[in-house]
Every structure is written in C-alpha cells, then in structure tokens.
Amino acid sequence: MTNKQIARFLKETASLIELTGGNPFRGRAFDRAARTIERLEEPVEDLLAAGTLTDIQGIGAGLAGQIQTLLDFGSFELRDELLAALPPGLLETLRIKGLGAKKVRKLWKTLGVTNLEDLEEAAVMGRLAELDGFGAKTQDNILKNIKLLKSYRARRHYATAIAQVEMLVEALRGQPGIARVEPAGALRRKLETIDAADLVVATDDPATARASLAAVLGTEDTSDILEASVFTGALEDGLPLRVYFASPQRFGTAWWRHTGSEAHVAAFEEAHGAPADQADEAAVYAQAGLAFVEPELREDADALRAATLPRLITEDDLRGSLHNHSTYSDGAHTLRQMAECARRMGLSYFGICDHSQSLRIANGMPVERVIEQQEEIRRLNQEFEQDGDAPFRIFSGIESDILADGALDYPDDVLASFDFVVASVHTRFNMTEEQATDRVLRAVSNPYTTILGHPTGRLLLAREGYPLDHQAVIDACAQHGVALELNAHPYRLDLDWRWIRKATRQGVMISINPDAHAMDGLYDVRWGVAVARKGWLTADQCLNALPLDAFTAWLAARQTERVV
C-alpha cells in the first residue's frame, strides 16, 4: 500500500469520526497524521518494519498499530466499527463538492438523508434550501454536482483501472486453460476514463479458462450460458469486467475486434470486409494492405485513411520535466530531491515551477522566496556541472497564476528573471466561456508566458473545467509561440487529447508535464504520454522531448523575440 493510499484511509477515518459525532480531537489527529504521511519520503511500510514510524510527530503507538493492521488486513477495527455505525450510502454523499462531513451529518440527522438518492430528492423538493447554512444557491449547486457524480461513478480513471487490470492479467497468465491474456477495449486504447475492463483470452478450452477466471477473481461464474464466448464479472472496485474467449488461431482477429473502437472496426470492415481469422493482430491490417494502427489511434477511421502513420511519442523520448513543485510552495520534497530524482530517471533537465505569490493556499512564493530559490538553482547547477556526470540542468520556472483579468502574478522585472513561465488558472472557475477565454487569451499574449498550464482546470470524474474556446486559444498559442501543457496528472490529462492534433498542425508545441508535488509524481508523465499518443503526438512536437541544447535554444529564441 502506498503512502498516498494509507493517507486516504486515515482521512476517511477522520471523516467517519466526524460523521458519527465522535470526538473531534480524535478526528483531527487522524487528519493530521494523514497529511504527515502524504509528505513522507520513505514508505510507511519500511518505517513500520524498522520500528521508527512512531518517531514521527503525531503518530503514536496506537495509530502505528492501526496502520500495521491496515497493511495486513486492508482495514482496522475502529474504521470497521465506524463504518458499521453509518448507513452504507452516506459516505458517497461526502464526494459531493461543497459537502463536508459536518454538513453531511446535519443532512442525515435533520432530513434523514442517507445516500445520494435521498439527497437528490431532498434538493429537488427544496428542503435543503430551508436548512441553516445551506440556502437556495447551495441547493442548486448540490443538485448540479449530484448529476455529475452520478455520471462519474460508473467510470474510473485510466490509471486506476489499468493498475487493477495489470494485476489481474499477471495473476491469470499461466493459469489452466489460458494460453494468452491481454487487455482490450477502451483500456487498451488508453482512454482517459473507463467504464468497463475488457480482456481477450486465447484458449482451446473455454470451460477451463472460465474456471481459472472464477478462481482468480474469487467470484461465481454468472455468465449467461448462451454466451459461451464471454465471461462477465467485476473487478475488486466494482468496475464491470468482460472477458472474451478465442481460439489461439483466431486470437489476433478477436483481439482487434474487442479493442475497437466500434467506429474504427466498422470503418475497416466497410472498406476491406470482415478480416479472416488471424493468430496475430498485425496480420489483420497487413492482409488489408494497411500499416499497423496503434491501439491509441483506433478511436475513429482517421488512421485507416492516413497515407502515413506517425511514430508516436514514448516515455523514452522525454528529455526533461518542466512543471514541478517543491517545498518552496506546496510540494512535499525539496528542490534538490526533486531535481535529483529527475536526474535518476535519466532526464537531462528539470523545470521547477512553484506557485506564484497570490496563491496563498498553495504557499505561493513572495518575491524574496523567488530570489532565494534562484540562488539555490545556481548553486545546484554549479554542482551538477562539476560532478562530471552527464549534463543536467535545473531551469528556473514559475507557475504563475492567471489573475481574474488575465494578468500574470508578478511585475515584469520578476517575470523576466525566470527561464520560463507556466501560466495557469487556479481561481474563479465560474466564468462564462467568453470571460474565461478572454482571460486565458490575455495570459497567452503576455510576452513572458512560455507554456499555458492545465488549459481548462478540469479534474476528471470530479470537476468540469471552465468553459473555453479551445480553437481561439490554440490560434493565440500559435501566434505568440506559446506551448500548450498536457498536464499528465492522471486526474487532469488537460489539454484534452482531442485538441492535440489541431494544435500541432498549427505548429504549437505540446509540453507533457507531470505537475509533480512529490518525487513519485514525476512518474505521472506516463499517463500524459498515453493520451498524447491518442493525439498523434510525435517526439519532435513535444517541447520537453527536445534535447537540453535545443530546449535552451528554444527558450533563448523566445527571450530575444520578447526584447525586439
């Protein structure tokens, strides 16, 4: 279990204590411990094994014992007791934006709301608006957010789904009756959110394969017996699972068909007829005289009609990591730790982009802190230069807030002191499309802006971004030589990949940025690369795939332009 996952359990326990009306000090202790653990460098598991977890402030022997039980059994007694004391649907209502444990408890105790459906009914009947501390506007918002949550709850982030499926596939390999097993469907096409997990199994003996599946999943085989070629079940978190069986001789064709998309398969068959049985998937395209189409490009028929297909970007193509945080703002690790981690990953440059001054909740940097950080960057760069290893450089960047009127967050002389500027919106999301677009356009036209950060501010399955005229923003980026960020956090993946081709066709560079707030966050680029490939992105269209020298030259060219 990762530190993040442990922290999530502790935070949930804090909410459970508040929901059940327990001792608020106890709740806060869990909340504090969760925050501490989130920021720990070493895995909690190692600290527990070494007996040093209790050396950390706020983690006593009792809590350490609970964490040990959590690691061993997936829960602990207090949590189980609290869960048992609550109506089962209550916890989900906590996921509604604007509803904390305190409000949820009030709704439960005064209106008898115990799940999302109760809450929706109470809101529709106008009963929320009459409650102390709610009001008509809150009620409207809650209703809107219930609708969103309902549409979200059937889906999973790609990162969440693929992690489970990779484990399942690993467990299935080599089991009786299973000659080969591979992920298919939307998961293989790397869509950013997933509503079902599809697998294809090569087998000569479907009955045995079926039994192996049931054994590994620990479930009954509930499939409709008439559908002998499909096994349906669910992953541990409830995501529907569909497993398709095919003989090894026609595995390739089955894998191709169940990878989809429907639109891609239909367009193929319309042009080339249904493919013959093939053991190897590549043969499906080859037999039609087509180049192999990477699964990421199979959302539509475009790749079938293209004269040539691009060599899609891979993680190995990345040379730098540009948008990252440190303890100078709201990151968990120091600048040195973050940079050295990037270096260990084989990258040759690291951009630090802590938050700018106005973003107080994220510990944004006043000008003195900026100067301090830039001095540290100089010292570290000197150190890297002298250690004789492969060239490595830290670039001084900033994640400058885009203020409500589109201005950046420092005076020009401070902005000029950075090697590059990522401009991002973090506040005032409730603008109209026209307002939000004007705001972003003004930031893009600022001569100091290098990259537009997470262009819509969306959080997948949690928050819609502000409405944006994407085409206008792309036009402006092309005009001003500003790169577009593809924020690689698995909950963001913003810029949406559907806009990438439009941007690159106009010469706009895409920067795949992890927006890491801790060392392990640097690895999030893999999610960005996954969806970038869906946008046909090649290495030469990606800003942080430029080698160190070329990236330095790119920045220098932009600065010269600014002076002229």
Considering only residues 86 through 105, tell me which ones interact with Zn ion, judged by CB under 5 A: none
Closer residue to Zn ion, CB minimum distance, 294 or 330: 330
Q: Look up residue 482 and give its two tokens.
A: 């500003």
CA 508 → CA 325, 479, 504, distances in Å? 25, 9, 5
Closer residue to Zn ion, CB minimum distance, 452 or 542: 452
Q: At closest approach, how far in Å is the CB of 148 from Zn ion?
A: 21
Q: At closest approach, how far in Å is the CB of 97 from Zn ion?
A: 18
Burial 35-73 (b: 16+ CB within 10 A, else e): ebbbebeeebbebbeeeebeebeebeeebbebbbbbeee
Tell me which amino acid residue 293 is: V
Q: At closest approach, how far in Å is the CB of 423 from Zn ion?
A: 10
Q: Which stretch binds Zn ion (CB under 5 A): 129-137, 388-396, 410-418, 509-517?
A: 509-517
DSSP line for 253-308: HHHHHHH--HHHHHHHHHHH-SPPP-SSTHHHHHHTT-PPPPGGGTTSSHHHH-SS
Q: Which stretch binds Zn ion (CB under 5 A): 76-84, 143-151, 276-284, 511-519?
A: 511-519
Closer residue to Zn ion, CB minimum distance, 293 or 483: 483
Q: Which stretch binds Zn ion (CB under 5 A): 90-98, 164-172, 302-310, 513-521?
A: 513-521
Q: At closest approach, how far in Å is the CB of 521 from Zn ion?
A: 10
Q: How many CB atoms within 10 Å of residue 125?
A: 12
Closer residue to Zn ion, CB minimum distance, 321 or 424: 424
Q: At closest approach, how far in Å is the CB of 421 from Zn ion?
A: 12
Binding-site string for Zn ion from residue 109 to residue 148, where x marks contact by CB under 5 A and - marks none: ----------------------------------------
Q: How many CB atoms within 10 Å of residue 521?
A: 22
Closer residue to Zn ion, CB minimum distance, 17 or 484: 484
Closer residue to Zn ion, CB minimum distance, 13 or 424: 424
Q: At closest approach, how far in Å is the CB of 513 from Zn ion?
A: 8
Closer residue to Zn ion, CB minimum distance, 198 or 399: 399
Binding-site string for Zn ion from residue 28 to residue 67, where x marks contact by CB under 5 A and - marks none: ----------------------------------------
Q: At closest approach, how far in Å is the CB of 323 from Zn ion?
A: 6
Q: At closest approach, how far in Å is the CB of 493 from Zn ion?
A: 14
Closer residue to Zn ion, CB minimum distance, 3 or 424: 424
Q: At closest approach, how far in Å is the CB of 542 from Zn ion?
A: 19
Q: Look up residue 484 and give its two tokens.
A: 């577009």
Q: At closest approach, how far in Å is the CB of 57 from Zn ion?
A: 28
Closer residue to Zn ion, CB minimum distance, 310 or 331: 331
Binding-site string for Zn ion from residue 349 to residue 388, where x marks contact by CB under 5 A and - marks none: ----------------------------------------
Q: Please answer whether residues 234 and 226 qualify as being in contact, where contact means their C-beta atoms are separated by less than 8 angstroms.
A: no
- What's the CA gap between 333 and 184, in Å, rounded? 37
Q: How many residues bind Zn ion (CB under 5 A)?
A: 3
Q: Please answer whether residues 319 and 291 qualify as being in contact, where contact means their C-beta atoms are separated by less than 8 angstroms.
A: no
Considering only residues 284 through 323, tell me which ones interact with Zn ion, judged by CB under 5 A: none
- What's the CA gap between 456 and 464, in Å, rounded? 8
Q: Which stretch binds Zn ion (CB under 5 A): 356-364, 375-383, 456-464, 508-516?
A: 508-516
346 contact partners, CB below 8 Å, separation of at least 6: none
Closer residue to Zn ion, CB minimum distance, 188 or 355: 355
Pairing of strands 240-246, 197-202: parallel
Q: Which of 296, 485, 515, 524 binds Zn ion (CB under 5 A)?
A: 515
Q: At closest approach, how far in Å is the CB of 520 from Zn ion?
A: 15
Closer residue to Zn ion, CB minimum distance, 141 or 511: 511
Considering only residues 408 through 447, tell me which ones interact with Zn ion, judged by CB under 5 A: 424
Closer residue to Zn ion, CB minimum distance, 183 or 331: 331
Closer residue to Zn ion, CB minimum distance, 355 or 470: 355
For the purposes of burial, counting CB atoms within 10 Å of the CB of 513, is it exposed (0-12), middle (13-18) or buried (19 or more)? Answer: buried
- What's the CA gap between 322 and 452, in Å, rounded? 12
- What's the CA gap between 200 and 188, in Å, rounded? 11
Supply φ then ψ for residue 462, to 5 degrees.
-140, -40
Q: Please answer whether residues 422 and 384 qualify as being in contact, where contact means their C-beta atoms are separated by less than 8 angstroms.
A: no
**DSSP for residue 332:** S
Q: Which of 120, 354, 399, 524 binds Zn ion (CB under 5 A)?
A: 399
CA 217 → CA 160, 244, 259, 525, distances in Å? 17, 15, 22, 31
16 contact partners, CB below 8 Å, separation of at least 6: 22, 79, 82, 83, 86, 91
Among candidate residues 300, 296, 301, 276, the one with its CA nearest the CA of residue 286? 276
Q: At closest approach, how far in Å is the CB of 362 from Zn ion?
A: 8
Q: At closest approach, how far in Å is the CB of 487 from Zn ion?
A: 8
- What's the CA gap between 153 and 6, in Å, rounded? 22
Binding site residues, Zn ion, CB under 5 A: 399, 424, 515
